[in-house]
Amino acid sequence: MPSRPDLAAEEWRGPRHWTSTPVGLFLALGTVGGAVALRESLAPFLGASSPMLPFVLPVALCAAIGGFWLGLLATLLALGAGDFFFLQPVHAFALPTSGDLARLVLFACIGLAISVVSGRMRREVERSREAERILTERAQASAQNARHFRTLLASRTLGVATFRGSAIVEANNAFLDLLGLSSHEFAQRGGKLDWRRMTPREHRRADEHAGRQLRSTGYCAPYEKEFFRKDGSRVPALIGGAVALGRDRGGLTGMFYVIDLSRLRRAEQALRESEARLRLALDAARAGSWAWEPATGRLVWSERNYELYGVDPKHVPTVERWIDAIHADDRARIVDEAEHMLAGRDEHFRLELRVPHRTRGIRWIASIGQVYRDEHGQVVRAAGLTLDITDRRNVEESERAARAEAERVSRLKDEFVATLSHELRTPLTSVLGWAQLLKRSPPGAAELDRGLGVIERNARALSQIVSDLLDVSRIVTGVIHLDVAPFDLGAAVASAAETVRPSAEQKGVALDVRITPIDEPLVGDGDRVEQLLWNLFSNAIKFSPPGGRVEVVVRPQRGRAVIVVRDAGQGIAPEFLPHLFERFRQEDASSSRRHGGLGLGLSIVKHIADLHGGRVYAESAGPGRGATFTVELPLAPESRGMAARLAAPASVRRAG
């Protein structure tokens, strides 16, 4: 047995010095005191000889019990006691004689030798005991590990086998189950399986590499391979091994473990199939996917995400780059919504934002995702899908616009019915009133002429209302007849001006008509063009203040005849100009009551101009600053082409 067991430093428990404890001090004092008492009792027999001999016993006892330092303490105490009690002069400390000094030195050497030898023996004994304790603990731990290992082998969780050369000589049930064998079948084969016969040819090179590792290092790193089962099928496995018993004439002998990877492979295959189905679904929906980890700031995009945001796939996606890709008007809102989502407790979220795509313009994107939090409620991950919802947003916008338009049309119809009722009631009331008055008493000539004039005027107003309604009906249904023929535009303008001049004079509005001669006549329906002009002139007079002025200018311009009607009336608000020529639209319902009309005249003007291949538009500097209406009609040969088209068999055209 070696003098010092090969123990780890942390396993050694060194003894405490008895000299540092009260017990050691009392032991040294007690034994030395006992030696003094013993020497005093033997004084009659020993006399003055051998004064230090009894003190050998306490030194040896203290050194044996307490080791070197306690033995040394006992030696010093014994030297002092011997000098005081037994050397001349007794009971006093004095310089000893040469003979006494020799005795003291000899005793000191003997005490020191006893302390050294006893201390070393004591240390060896203590180390031996400590080594036995450690070995016992290791044996118990080894026995426990062996029990655990046997439990693991019996659990059919880990396959373990012993090999000798290329033969498997021992195997547990887990390894036999992997091969499709029972323990009885393994025993029938003589307890041996040929490693090569169990291994497919393409995996033998990996086995050979593992064998070289075993021979050179004594173990091999884990690697994957396949085994043939009893039925000829293959089973994937993770294998690793080590040389346990060295090598003999049969080759290497050792153990290896095997983990069945069948379930892992099936899970991986199921995961691949699931990912493939997900990719198909995302491709079908043209959706992208993303994932974000707040701790690292790592953002992962699918290829479709780059396409949806219009970002170059060469760029690494970051949160900052994602924010930069958002429309500038939506960034602040999206950042606020994202921060609220992260600070809240909701697991699911949806963000809708606009993206200025590089090639496709403004696109609407929906980011739908889920937030994953830890046990403290902190966000650890967020993932979701990205969808292009531009078409849906456009449909929703169209639906909203259509709904608003339907509400507007319904409101216009209600206003039109109310206006029409008022416009019909006023002339009918006059006609009915004068008819009853003339019927009750024979009128005079002057009174009769006046009544018939009122009846005629109101009847004409009713006729005009009905005519406008019929024209609008023809426009809406897509049929309106044009009697196409050459006509003189100047004459049509003069006729329309003379028609409205009485109403202008009655209101005190000056009508100034300036016509620049046009060399060639226009081709179209002269009556409809005169109707167009009459509506414009009447409209200008109606909205001009008393004492105002209406200017009418007719001139040729770049192959077209241009009619300009300018007044200094109440003007038109800029926001109403785009709706000016729509049916039933009037800028102010109250103005319709003051000035009358159904809001159909300008709509009829526009359709007549369109039917003749021309156009009409209005200009105004704003309310109270008058308005200017301009009509452009094509001259020959453009008007002849238009006339030929209008005079064709399909002379009933759809307009508006």
Looking at the fold, whether 357 and 379 belong to one and the same domain comes out as yes
pLDDT at residue 564, as a whole number: 94
| Edge-to-edge strand ranges of the sheet holding 348-357 | 298-301, 288-293, 379-388, 361-373, 348-357
Total number of domains in the chain: 5
pLDDT at residue 162, as a whole number: 84
| DSSP-derived 3-state class of residue 638 | helix
Looking at the fold, whether 256 and 275 belong to one and the same domain comes out as no
Q: What is the pLDDT of residues 376-391, one digit of tens each?
A: 888 888 888 888 888 8
For the ranges 134-138, 364-368, 472-476, 590-594, the lowest mean pLDDT is seen at 590-594
Residue 349 sits in a domain of what CATH number?
3.30.450.20
Q: Which of 135, 167, 200 delimits the end of a domain?
A: 135
Looking at the fold, whether 521 and 574 belong to one and the same domain comes out as yes
Looking at the fold, whether 256 and 271 belong to one and the same domain comes out as no
d(CA 559, CA 637): 9
| Edge-to-edge strand ranges of the sheet holding 234-248 | 193-194, 167-171, 159-164, 251-260, 234-248, 219-228
Asked if residue 472 is part of any domain, the answer here is: no
Looking at the fold, whether 24 and 44 belong to one and the same domain comes out as yes
Looking at the fold, whether 404 and 498 belong to one and the same domain comes out as no
Angle subtended at Cα 635 by Cα 629 and Cα 636, rounded to the nearest 5 degrees:
170
Looking at the fold, whether 364 and 489 belong to one and the same domain comes out as no
Looking at the fold, whether 98 and 41 belong to one and the same domain comes out as yes
Looking at the fold, whether 384 and 418 belong to one and the same domain comes out as no
CB-count exposure of residue 184 (10 Å: 0-12, 13-18, 19+): exposed
- For residue 197, what are the domain limits? 155-260
Query: pLDDT at residue 231 above 80?
Result: yes
Q: What is the pLDDT of residues 115-144, one digit of tens each?
A: 888 878 878 888 888 888 888 898 888 788
Q: What is the pLDDT of residues 545-568, one digit of tens each?
A: 998 999 999 999 888 899 999 998
pLDDT bracket for residue 364 (50, 70, 90) = very high
Closest listed residue to residue 611, CA positions, set 522, 538, 551: 522
Query: pLDDT at residue 485 above 50?
Result: yes
357-369 average pLDDT score: 88
Looking at the fold, whether 485 and 613 belong to one and the same domain comes out as yes
Asked if residue 320 is part of any domain, the answer here is: yes
Is 321 within 8 Å of 311 (Cβ atoms)? yes
pLDDT bracket for residue 571 (50, 70, 90) = confident
pLDDT at residue 224, as a whole number: 92
Looking at the fold, whether 417 and 501 belong to one and the same domain comes out as no
Looking at the fold, whether 35 and 104 belong to one and the same domain comes out as yes
Asked if residue 465 is part of any domain, the answer here is: no
Query: pLDDT at residue 9 above 60?
Result: no
Q: Which of 341, 360, 388 delimits the end of a domain?
A: 388
pLDDT bracket for residue 412 (50, 70, 90) = low
pTM: 0.42
Query: pLDDT at residue 184 above 90?
Result: no
Mean pLDDT (the chain) is 79
For the ranges 111-120, 218-227, 527-536, 606-615, the lowest mean pLDDT is seen at 111-120
Query: pLDDT at residue 194 above 90?
Result: no
Phi, psi of 368 (to 5 degrees): -110, 130
